[in-house]
A and B are shown apart, each in its own frame.
Chain A
Amino acid sequence: MAEVALRRGSLDRPALYAWLQAYGVYVGVAALLLFNIVFTDHFLSTENFRTQAVQVAPILIVALGMALAIGSEGIDLSVGSVMALSTSLVALYLGYGPWIALLAAVLGGVAVGMVNGSLIALVGVQPIVATLALMVGGRGLALVLVPQLEDVRDPGMRALGSEDLLGVPYPVVIALVLVLLVAFTVRRTTFGRQLLAIGDSRPAARLAGLPVRRVLLCVYVASGVLAAVAGFLATARLQASDPTSLGTLMELSAITAVVVGGTPLSGGRVRIGGTVAGAVLIQLLTATLIKHDLPPSWTQIAQAVVIVLAVYAARERGKR
């Protein structure tokens, strides 16, 4: 589409914005990589790439669920709190073994997703409000279960957080498997097509006889489960359960990753590749600012600017 813009001699703005929305994120990632390679010391090392990849994994996993919610023309603000709830449940149930702890965490995610999904699909509450209620209530619940930071000591969990499978850290392997799973679901299954149809036009989907309520319910349960898995992995990596701060502002990172990746907020389309790149972009942005000794508050400001720019770029396309 950029070629079209150039061939006409004048700037074809809508086409340019559309191109930016779809592929701008890859340009951004490339630019940040280039900047770091040139200006950041010790950036080109296996150790650094490993660290970055492990840190991007939870953002990416949460963003996958967020992509599904946004694709259905919804949003899930409760994901950060689900991570907190997940880490609390892990601390509570690790005594029965890591698998039981994982099961408890996932069931917690299912429960939150069911509440979100029921409110949105059955009662008809706006997604922002339904998930905002659980954003606050969920973290409260996590803190009721485990009031402060607790060490998590389990050899299995430590291995999961710090060891490799064929040279790739476990969290990254799990994130990639989930990426493939979600991409397959969106592209190749009936559920995925129904999800996109519902996101495109809810009334049309209803008239066409699609199971709108069931699909929406599944979307929010999926988002809850993915956030819970991210919380489990983060707990394994930190070897601690920290419901106070784990997952704070994760909803923003996830939304940024999805939106920067070219998934329109108006629903009807999901870009998984873009979401992966979006998550990488956020992680690189954070790492770049930290490595150049800028305080964390700059990361927040930069992220706010990036999210507004991304939505702004997407706007022209929506208006056409």
Chain B
Amino acid sequence: MSAANTRQQGAGRPGTGSHGDGAPGKGVLGKGTPGGGPHGPGGEGVPPAKHLSSDHTVPGGPSARAERLSAFAQQHGALVALALTLLIASLSFESFAHPGNLENIAVSSAFLAIVALGMTFVIVSGGIDLSVGSVFALGGVLAAWGSRHGPLVALLLALGVCGAIGLVNGLLIARARLAPFIVTLAAMLGARGLLLNITDEGNDTFLVAKDSLFADLGRGKLLGIGVPVWIMLALFLLGGLLLRRTRFGQNVYAVGGNEDAASLMGTSVSRTKVSVYVISGLLAGLAGALNAAYLASGVTILGQGMELEAISAVVIGGTLLTGGLGFVSGSLVGVLLLKVIQNVINQIGSLDSAYQQVVSGAFLVVVVVVQTWLGRRRKARLTSSG
């Protein structure tokens, strides 16, 4: 069980919430508690005025409430921000809360959200996947090309090739022990090259037949809501269960928290790592395929900068970039927050995509700075109390 897990479930128990060093596994957690015992329950009695300044200096007496607050901000800050943004946006723009506009946001979020889901697994495991944008575009083009042979071929082709790219990434990272960012950077280049190769340097465009079953995957509606949204929700449910309720999920947290400890505990580190990159590749390919069905064609220039959006969403959602800590629902909130902000920028109208790039870059900087600061506060507290 991860520290994040413990903290969320034990929100009412400050004692268990204070040792969030991301160390996974029951044995490790059990040993890590001595600092939490004495000051944890007493946290309620500490006057709030001392919280901010005395954290590092008073041994054994740091405030559990401030601790809980920063942990809450890190985990649920995005949700609060999303609620506020939705409120302000619907008050400011009459057209914002219109069902059609909300449906637009939901569908355009679905593709990025599926990519971000895979990225969550990778980042929780302590890695990073920079290839998702290229893989997304490649999946779209392959699916569009395959759709002339039926929806099954379209999906299998996209999932097969993109899963294989994930497998190569995973093997190079886990077995050959190469740095994740350099391997996936090379994959980003290689996948884009492959994509340009099959589309005759971007000159060929593969169209999806408008009335095919495959097009329904992108265009169809169920209960008034787009099929991609349903697929996305189903995948997040599955992903959440996989990460939080299965042995595999525990292994992902363990590997991200402390690889050596995980290895000593008998976790198959390399199998876990290979799996997360395969998941990421599969999901990016699937998202690309759904996007191609939605747009009715495989667009070669898609997905540039998508790795940044996905990483931003995951980080905004409270997942630590250092690994071992995070949850998938946060990533969904992060994606929604990004897409709502983009929608607002579009509503303002005068801002073009260049501004959107500036805004999303700046947004990531702010979130990462806040997250690093919150993380450091907790770490300082840990060292002073432990």
Contact = CB atoms under 8 A, between A and B. Distances in A.
Interface in B360-383: 360-362, 364-365, 368-369, 372-373, 376
Interface string A130-156: 101111111111011001000000000
Contacts of B187: 304
B357 A136 contact: yes
B176 A315 contact: yes
A136 B189 contact: no
B354 A140 contact: yes
Given A255-B182, A311-B182, A295 B201 contact: yes
Contact of B189 (A132, A140, A300, A319): A300
Interface in A96-141: 115, 119, 123-126, 128-130, 132-141
B201 A308 contact: no
B128 to A, nearest CB: 7
Interface residues of A, number: 44
Interface residues of B, number: 48
With most chain A CB atoms within 10 A of its CB, the pick from B130, B178, B201 is B178
A299 interface: yes
A265 B182 CA distance: 9
Contacts of B186: 252, 303-305, 307-308
B361 A134 contact: yes
A126 B311 CA distance: 13
A295 B203 CA distance: 12
A132 B311 contact: yes
A140 B197 contact: no
A256 to B, nearest CB: 9
B181 interface: yes
B190 interface: yes
A299 B193 contact: yes
Interface in A276-320: 295-301, 303-305, 307-308, 311-312, 315, 319
Contact of B177 (A147, A299, A315): A315
A124 to B, nearest CB: 5
Contacts of B189: 249, 252, 300-301, 303-304, 307
Interface in A208-230: none
Interface of B: 128, 130, 172, 176-179, 181-183, 185-187, 189-190, 192-197, 200-201, 305, 307-308, 311, 315, 321-322, 352-362, 364-365, 368-369, 372-373, 376
4 closest Cβ contacts across the A-B interface?
A137-B361, A140-B357, A300-B193, A304-B190
